[in-house]
Amino acid sequence: MDTRVMRVFLSVADTLNFSRSSENLHMSLSAVSRTIARLEQELGQSLLERDNRRVNLTRHGAQFREYAQKALDDWQRLQQELSADTALSGEVSLFCSVTASYSILAPILEAFRIAHPSVAIMMHTGDQADGISRVLSGADDVAVTARPESLSRRLSFLPLQQSPLILCAPTADCVARELTNSGDTSAANFDWSAIPFIVPERGITKDLFDNWFREQGITPTIYAQVAGHEAIVAMVGLGLGVGIAPELVIETSGMRDMLTPLAHIHPLPPLDIGLCSLKHRLESPLVQSLWNTAQNLG
């Protein structure tokens, strides 16, 4: 069976979302659907239950998931054994945000290229919130991501740095600025409910922000839900609302002077940022070498 087909199925099995898998795999939604349909036809069994609201694995789907993951692991192990007597060569797939590509990965990749010039790096960029799902689905070997509160037992995480989360408002004269200047934002009785917020649409920082609202009993006014911290920084800088972003992103965005931090009574925890990979992928000499390079630089 084509390993590509198994990777597509594993992605859908992990995300339980055809649209998200099509984005992670850089395939059209129709191509992902056709691949799954052909696989089900070949096996003569339904692997996924679908309706307009959700996707779930069938009993046969759960069985095939175990088979597909083992088959891919065995294939990768065989490739490693066949190439064990030669210098490292091949391809490592990386996923990161645009900010991480130059603020975190640049020195790691420079050292890795010097040590292993025959290894090709395939980099994909996007919202860091997608990093863990792309690694779990096998779309990428390694991702730069924030560490979630609960890390899957299938994953290894290598911390590289911490970045405080900053609640920020625009410096420009605008409604959001006027509202945050209307009182003491560090006071327990400050009325946050009227403030237009720009929030992450998914991911670790969304969970942290949701908890922050809940702990303070705030029902927020959501101006926009966007993908990526870079988009939040840009929209806040343009005066559209208040948002939360890692200090790392703010400092490297070129918009630092257009944002001002807001004092608040309940500080947000910092993000632990690092490399994430499936544990079994670290058995690959290519992935392990990249991991070791990052660890040594850290």
The reported pLDDT for the residue numbered 29 is 87
Of 252, 291, 281, 37, nearest in space to 160 by CA: 291
| DSSP E strands, 126-233 | 142-146, 155-163, 165-170, 196-200, 221-226
Determine the Cα–Cα distance for residues 40 and 34; give it in Å rounded to an integer: 10
Could you say which DSSP state residue 44 is in? T
Neighbours of 159 (CB within 10 A): 12
Coil vs helix vs strand at 132: helix
pLDDT at 214: 87
Q: What does each of the 298 residues of the chain score in pLDDT, given as a tens digit?
A: 678 888 888 888 888 888 888 877 878 888 898 999 998 898 998 999 887 778 889 999 888 888 888 887 777 667 666 655 556 778 899 999 988 988 899 999 999 998 888 888 998 988 888 899 889 888 899 999 999 888 888 899 999 999 999 999 999 999 999 999 998 988 888 888 889 999 999 888 898 888 888 888 888 899 999 988 999 999 999 999 999 999 999 998 888 999 999 988 777 889 999 999 999 888 888 899 999 999 988 6
Q: Which residues lie across from 121 on neighbouring strands?
A: 92
Structure tokens belonging to residue 114: 């010097």
The whole-angstrom separation of Cα 8 and Cα 83 is 26
> What are the structural domains of the chain?
1-85 (1.10.10.10), 87-160+272-298 (3.40.190.10), 165-269 (3.40.190.10)
Query: What is the total residue count of the chain?
Result: 298
In degrees, to the nearest 5, what angle opens at C-alpha 272 toward C-alphas 13 and 190? 105
Eight-class DSSP state of 228? S
Task: Give the pLDDT of residue 222.
Answer: 94
User: Residue 28's pLDDT is what?
Assistant: 87
pLDDT score recorded for residue 162: 92
d(CA 49, CA 296): 46
**pLDDT at res. 16:** 87
CA distance 73 to 282: 11
DSSP state of 191: -
pLDDT score of 79: 64
